[in-house]
Amino acid sequence: MRIVVKVGTSTLAYATGRLNIRHTEQLVKVLSDLKNEGHEVILVSSGAIGMGVGKLSLPTRPKDTTTKQACAAVGQCELMYTYDRLFNAYNHTVAQILLTGVDVEHTERRVNFQNTLSRLLELGALPIINENDTVATDEITSIGDNDTLAAIVACCAKADMLVLLSDIDGLYTANPHTHTDAKLIPLVEEITPEVMALADGAGSALGTGGMATKLRAARMVTSSGADMVIANGAHPELLYDIAAGRSAGTRFAARKED
Ligand code: GLU
């Protein structure tokens, strides 16, 4: 199976911007094991800006674009250094791909991306993709959030499944932070306006995505014929269940061809 896994800043880093070693090591271990089992794995990783904040010892995530770009430049380096080191311990080779909105809209660039991605997978490497935050900054050039980037990657890669690892267990019947009786929805067969209305839009301190962007990603991915799962990144071992088709988090079923 070809699986795209997206991991958010809230999983990889603490609110301080420093690396969450436990989550990151566990994620790398499980992804390495899934590759050993024969799956093709593509990782879409956030964390560049968040980790830059930590590495530069800034007190909070900056609001201005230029400092965010500077943080991304520092943090992306740190991120890939960390992945390279950790995946190396399991004998896996990583490859960095940085994209912008313009790259995926421009046919020739998109085809170049798709060709490189397929060749990397044939060569047994593990592509790690992020937005090129130092150059894509406005609504025209940038994709804006990595849930959408991951959905685009899953479609371009013709993946069988996209897994969004987040700081929440999945989609709930109401906002679980404010409604104690909210229930996790294990399976969504159709993304109706009622399902869209369950999103409450809130993100975390360091990341950018919220439930609304995840549901839009689900709409894109399921209509391209792949499944999408939202699961809690604090438990990367859930990826074993997800890859095996067992219930974990919220699964959005691929739309069948009519
Ligand atoms: N590209 C951003 C980063 O690496 C993250 C965007 C997102 O999490 O949606 O910090």
Give residue-wise pLDDT tens across range 191-231. Answer: 998 898 888 644 443 444 588 899 999 999 999 999 999 99
CATH superfamily of 2-252: Acetylglutamate kinase-like (3.40.1160.10)
**Cβ(246)–Cβ(233) under 8 Å?**
no
pLDDT given for residue 201 in this prediction: 44
How does pLDDT run across 61-95, given as a tens digit for each residue? 899 999 999 999 999 999 999 999 999 999 999 99
Best substitution site from 128, 131, 148 to test ligand 1's pocket, by max atoms within 8 Å of Cβ? 131
**Cβ(105)–Cβ(45) under 8 Å?**
no
Count of H helices and E strands in the chain? 10, 8
What are the boundaries of each domain within the chain? 2-252
Backbone angles phi, psi at 96, to 5 degrees: -95, 130
Q: How many CB atoms lie within 10 A of CB 194?
A: 8
| Tally of residues, the chain | 258
Within 6 A (CB) of ligand 1 lie: 8-9, 46-50, 130-131, 133, 145-146, 207-209
Share of residues in the chain with pLDDT > 90 (%): 76
Give the pLDDT mean for 232-248. 96
Best substitution site from 45, 77, 82, 145 to test ligand 1's pocket, by max atoms within 8 Å of Cβ? 145
Model confidence at 148: pLDDT above 50: yes
Please state which of the ranges 28-37, 133-142, 143-152 shows the lowest mean pLDDT: 133-142
pLDDT given for residue 139 in this prediction: 66
Model confidence at 257: pLDDT above 70: no
